[in-house]
Structure 1
Amino acid sequence: MAQPSNAGAVSSPSQGPPDLRDRISGYLFPSRLILIGAYYFSLTLLEAPLLILTDFQTFHHKAFSKLWAVCGEDMSSDMPPGTAELVASCKGVVLDVGPGTGTQLKLFNPEAITIIYGVEPAVDMHSKLLKNAERYGLKTKYEVVGAGAEPQSLIPALEKRNLLKMGEKNSAGIFDSIACIRVLCGVPSPEETADGLYRLLKPGGRLVICEHVKQPYPNGGDFIASLFQRFYMLIGWPFWLGGCCLDRDTDQMLRKVAGPDGWSEINVNYSQTHAAVPYIMGEYLKAA
Structure 2
Amino acid sequence: MDALVRLLQLLLLFLTLPLHLMALLGCWQPLCKSYFPYLMAALTASTNRRMESKKRELFSHIKGLMGTSGRVALLELGSGTGANFQFYPPGCRITCLDPNPHFEKFLSKSMAKNRHLQYERFVVAPGEDMKQLADGSMDVVVCTLVLCSVQSPKRVLQEVRRVLRPGGVLLFWEHVAERRGSWAFTWQRAVEPTWKHIGDGCCLTRETWKDLENAQFSEVQMERQPPPFKWLPVGPHIMGKAVK
Q: Report the TM-score, using the length of structure 2 for normalisation.
A: 0.77
Task: Give, as a single letter, the amino acid of the residue that structure 1 aligns with 2:186.
Answer: L
1:285 aligns with 2:243: yes
Percent pairwise identity: 27
1:79 aligns with 2:57: no
Aligned ranges for residues 1-288 of structure 1 at < 5 Å?
52-53=26-27, 57-79=29-51, 81-90=53-62, 91=65, 92-111=72-91, 113=92, 115-138=93-116, 140-151=118-129, 154-155=130-131, 157-158=132-133, 164=134, 170=135, 173-217=136-180, 223-234=182-193, 236-258=194-216, 262-263=217-218, 265-272=219-226, 276=233, 277-286=235-244
Stretches of structure 1 lacking an aligned partner (at least 5 in a row): 1-33, 46-50, 159-163, 165-169
**Separation of aligned partners in 1, 2:34 and 2:83:** 18
Stretches of structure 2 lacking an aligned partner (at least 5 in a row): 1-11, 66-71
**Separation of aligned partners in 1, 2:147 and 2:85:** 18
Q: Aligned residue pairs: how many?
A: 214
Alpha-carbon spacing, 1:278–1:85, altered in 2? closer, same or farther (3 Å) = same
Task: Give, as a single letter, the amino acid of the residue that structure 2 aligns with 1:146.
Answer: V
Question: Structure 1 runs of 4+ off > 4 angstroms?
Answer: 273-276
Alpha-carbon spacing, 1:136–1:81, altered in 2? closer, same or farther (3 Å) = same
**Separation of aligned partners in 2, 1:136 and 1:227:** 41
**Separation of aligned partners in 2, 1:76 and 1:117:** 21
- Residue 52 of structure 1, CA deviation: 4.2
Task: Give, as a single letter, the amino acid of the residue that structure 1 aligns with 2:150.
Answer: V
Q: C-alpha deviations, 1:166-193, integer Å up to 9, x for none?
A: xxxx3xx221111001111111222111
**Separation of aligned partners in 2, 1:117 and 1:214:** 30
| Corresponding residue for residue 9 of structure 2 | none
Q: C-alpha deviations, 1:75-133, integer Å up to 9, x for none?
A: 3433385222212422511110112111221111123x2x1101022222111212212
**Separation of aligned partners in 2, 1:210 and 1:103:** 13
Task: Give, as a single letter, the amino acid of the residue that structure 1 aligns with 2:151.
Answer: P
**Separation of aligned partners in 2, 1:140 and 1:178:** 15
- Residue 59 of structure 1, CA deviation: 3.7
DSSP-derived class of the 1:69 partner: helix
What CA RMSD, in Å, does the superposition of the two structures yield over aligned residues? 2.8
**Separation of aligned partners in 2, 1:76 and 1:120:** 20
CA contact (8 A) 1:130 1:144 kept: no
**Separation of aligned partners in 2, 1:233 and 1:80:** 28
**Separation of aligned partners in 1, 2:150 and 2:138:** 20
Alpha-carbon spacing, 1:77–1:186, altered in 2? closer, same or farther (3 Å) = farther
